[in-house]
Chains A and B, each alone.
Chain A
């Protein structure tokens, strides 16, 4: 079976767990679900998956994390895996930051915390459709 991976990145385990379960419940066994607590860990996972020959279809990433920030991380991913669907979750209400991020809206989709499940699923589905 040639399942693709959905990767969730967030420094908060509660977010990570609930997000993963949410996605898993919706997409079921069609995907492999991986989680990482930092951008650095995510890059590791991506490396491993690449070696295993497993494709990553979706990355859902928190913005504000210790170490590398979500936007930076996604920018890197964009360079390496332009096709991956990139979704940035942000709990930051700072308008300036949001404005900055919107400049990058072409690269990835911005979803505010607390997010709406349907919205997230729709975005992912759209992305997946584009992806395939």
Chain B
């Protein structure tokens, strides 16, 4: 009982503490809540203001004139009115930004209860502001809002001033919650409508609603503190504030809450209190109990325990003393009993030895028995896996059925014994079975038969049965012993094998390859006769199976001249790889076969199974390919021969090109030689004539001449012998004409003839002047002059001959140089310029017809080269140039030293070479000349010669600007 008292005291204390704590917390919490509400209201108002500011931006003001001026007095009186709880003022700015006020009567604003106007502050901006004002020591919430309506000059500022606490209490309905507050906008102000805003929620609600003013109720939302909204219809703003009633602590409710809370806390704390109080004492008592358990009966109890605990301790101590006595008594009894047992034990041990001895003997006998029994059991067990055994009376009833029938047919032996006659199926097999069963009765001999029965699972099972007659001592049949086994699976397998065999046979017969078997005498290595062949083989060979069995595979071989029979034999007997054979069908058709064989042993006979494929088509294709190949080889040889021919032809062409060039050269040279020859021949004739005449005239000249004649004669002679500049025919003609006129002027006879001869003698102008007076004196000056001419003619013609001979010699010399062949076909030092000049000499007759040759030579060292070949290069280039220019134009030949090389250039003034063919002109057989005019080998030859000298040849040409061939030849 003491325990209970203590706990209730504790509970009371705890409850008291929690009650106190609860009150404290509630107090603080409410206070905080109020403060918090105010702050959040303030922040929300700010928020509204911002939002509305935003909404009202960019509106404009006008039409303020229409609005009546505010009655400041009335405002004042309102302001001074007693018991002012809250005021709603509608106001706005005028055009100058001053605030405009209106009274509640102007606006139609109804101010229920106590109302007053508050004029407090002039707005500094058009957008409004918010502040808190104190009227009669009460804080007022003031909102200044600008309200606008587009296109209707509806503008204004609404100021709401509300004392907060009053507002809250006034607006609270019966339940203490503020439901609604309606505020009016400037729209009403402007038009002075009767519409009113009312803070009485019932009236205000209706009237505002009719005029499309926003009225917002939050009656259903008690948790809301206030709300606002914009009235979009007129673009003005209505605002609604709904304030939750302040949360007042409810004492009754709070007390209930506190009781619940404290009860919960007490429930938690009371066990804790008890635990802490009794824990130590229980621990001490528990220690004692543990000692007693460990047979320490002499332990002492703890002291200083509480009432309840000492009761418990005393009880335990009583138990401890009782246990101590019982334990002592038990020990004595155990010692006594132990000695009795040990005596008894000795007797028993002796008996045990005897028994063991007997046991060993028995054991060996038993082992022998067991062994033989196990053997039989194993045998039977083994047999019973497959067989069941039975004994049958002569009337057919079963006397005994081994248990293994269950394993085989699923029936228990008794069951089977009773039902076995009904289990036979209708399989015809069973007729023979019954037949056999009667045979054993009649003939008394063992029988074997098959029977089909239905097993326990309803499956049909085929049994193989062996029955043996049993005789008594008098050899009388008394019963039948039977043994049966299930061969259903075995039979099925046999059927399967049969089926598979059928499939293979199908395959064998329907294959479109030759498949056949033949014997093989391995010892003698001989091919035996056919054993079997598939349909395809028979069909293709056109033999029947019987016919085929009379012959060997070798007999089918067509006469093949390429192989000996021995090889055939070897392959048919030994070949492990595929081999090819040609067979002949019965009607003589040739079949190419590719055969593969495999030897295996069937019942001590070596048998070859062979698969052969008809490759006749393939063989034919191979033959064709071989034939085509041979054709190709032939063609290739033909082509090679053709190429050889072409090469020869080309060489011939090169030769003929050379000959053509030579022919042209010779033609030119002939002219070059014939011209001086012509001059020589004529001159010799002239010489001879002149000499004749001179000799004939000599006597007359010496005898019949006057002294004057002689003087003139010798003078003429002297003058004629003086060397004079060569004159062109044109000059000569002019001089002759002048001389003739001069002579005429001096009245000398035969001036024309005289002038002719004088010019021939080279006596004219100054030379003639001195002779003129003498000519005048002479009887016949012509005769004198002509006498002199005969002599001078000798001299002149001799000179002509000389010049002519020189000319001819030059040509011949050039020809000789040109035609010079290098003795050993080796390179020799040669003068490049000399070579070029030689060629120019030979082509003089062509060049002189209209080609002006300009030379630009460096002093060049001797070049190691094949002289005649290099000459051919110049010849070809010169010929090309002459032909390109069509014998008219200028040819610049330059030979320059360029490092280790000589660069010779032939620049002609011909039409130039088309860029399209520039790359091709060095190709053999390429020619721009008419067919037959050139072989097209000239430049090819030139290029080969230059390349033989490790040199290079290239072309510069532009259409219309001639062509330049450059040949670069290294000095060494």
Residues of A in contact with B (beta carbons under 8 Å apart): 11-19, 21-22, 25, 29, 32-37, 41, 45, 64-67, 89-94, 97, 112-117
* B797 interface residue (CB < 8 Å to A): yes
Residue from B675, B689, B753 with most neighbouring chain A CB atoms (10 Å): B675
* B804 interface residue (CB < 8 Å to A): yes
Judge whether A18 and B675 touch: CB under 8 Å: no
Distance in Å: Cβ of B99 to nearest Cβ of chain A: 125
Judge whether B850 and A66 touch: CB under 8 Å: yes
* B733 interface residue (CB < 8 Å to A): yes
* Least CB separation from B677: chain A residue: A114
A-B interface pairs (CB < 8 A), number:
106
Judge whether B682 and A18 touch: CB under 8 Å: yes
Contact flag A65-B682 (CB < 8 Å), given A14-B800, A45-B733: no
Our pick among B679, B732, B733 for the contact of A12 (Cβ within 8 Å) is: B679
Seed contacts A18-B678, A21-B793, A35-B732; 12 additional CB < 8 Å A-B pairs: A14-B800, A16-B729, A18-B800, A37-B730, A41-B729, A66-B850, A67-B849, A91-B672, A91-B674, A97-B667, A113-B675, A115-B682
Main secondary structure of the interface of B (DSSP, over half): helix
* B728 interface residue (CB < 8 Å to A): yes
Judge whether A34 and B728 touch: CB under 8 Å: no
Judge whether B679 and A14 touch: CB under 8 Å: yes
Residues of A within 8 A of B690 (CB): 25
Residues of A within 8 A of B726 (CB): 13
Judge whether B678 and A89 touch: CB under 8 Å: yes
* B378 interface residue (CB < 8 Å to A): no
Judge whether A17 and B685 touch: CB under 8 Å: no
Residues of B within 8 A of A21 (CB): 682-683, 686, 793, 796-797
Residue from A21, A25, A34, A112 with most neighbouring chain B CB atoms (10 Å): A21
- What are 12 pairs between A and B in contact, CB < 8 Å? A11-B848, A13-B726, A16-B729, A18-B679, A25-B686, A25-B689, A66-B849, A66-B850, A67-B850, A92-B667, A113-B674, A115-B681
Contact flag A15-B679 (CB < 8 Å), given A25-B689, A65-B849, A66-B849: yes
User: A34 CA to B690 CA in the complex, in Å?
Assistant: 20
3 interchain residue pairs of minimum CB distance:
A91-B674, A18-B682, A93-B670
* Least CB separation from A12: chain B residue: B675
Distance in Å: Cβ of B687 to nearest Cβ of chain A: 10
Judge whether A64 and B685 touch: CB under 8 Å: no
User: A37 CA to B726 CA in the complex, in Å?
Assistant: 13
User: A7 CA to B237 CA in the complex, in Å?
Assistant: 136
Contact flag A114-B674 (CB < 8 Å), given A11-B848, A66-B849, A67-B850: yes
Judge whether A15 and B732 touch: CB under 8 Å: no
* B940 interface residue (CB < 8 Å to A): no
Our pick among B675, B733, B752 for the contact of A15 (Cβ within 8 Å) is: B675
Our pick among A33, A64, A91, A97 for the contact of B678 (Cβ within 8 Å) is: A91
Judge whether B848 and A36 touch: CB under 8 Å: no
* B437 interface residue (CB < 8 Å to A): no
Residues of B within 8 A of A11 (CB): 848
Our pick among A13, A14, A66, A92 for the contact of B671 (Cβ within 8 Å) is: A92
Our pick among A13, A18, A90, A112 for the contact of B683 (Cβ within 8 Å) is: A18
Residues of B in contact with A (beta carbons under 8 Å apart): 666-667, 670-683, 685-686, 689-690, 726, 728-730, 732-733, 752-753, 756, 793, 796-797, 800, 803-804, 807, 845, 848-850
Judge whether B671 and A32 touch: CB under 8 Å: no
* Least CB separation from B807: chain A residue: A14
User: A21 CA to B672 CA in the complex, in Å?
Assistant: 22
Judge whether B670 and A18 touch: CB under 8 Å: no
Residues of B within 8 A of A37 (CB): 728-730
User: A116 CA to B677 CA in the complex, in Å?
Assistant: 11
Residue from B667, B674, B678, B752 with most neighbouring chain A CB atoms (10 Å): B678
Judge whether A113 and B797 touch: CB under 8 Å: no
Residues of B within 8 A of A113 (CB): 671, 674-675, 677-678
Judge whether B756 and A19 touch: CB under 8 Å: no
Residues of B within 8 A of A22 (CB): 682, 685-686
Residues of B within 8 A of A35 (CB): 729, 732-733
Residue from A15, A16, A45 with most neighbouring chain B CB atoms (10 Å): A15
Distance in Å: Cβ of A37 to nearest Cβ of chain B: 5
User: A19 CA to B800 CA in the complex, in Å?
Assistant: 11
User: A89 CA to B682 CA in the complex, in Å?
Assistant: 13
* Least CB separation from A93: chain B residue: B670
Judge whether A92 and B670 touch: CB under 8 Å: yes
Residues of B within 8 A of A45 (CB): 733
Judge whether B733 and A34 touch: CB under 8 Å: yes
User: A114 CA to B848 CA in the complex, in Å?
Assistant: 20
Residues of A within 8 A of B796 (CB): 17, 21
* Least CB separation from B664: chain A residue: A94
Distance in Å: Cβ of B327 to nearest Cβ of chain A: 167
Residues of B within 8 A of A67 (CB): 849-850
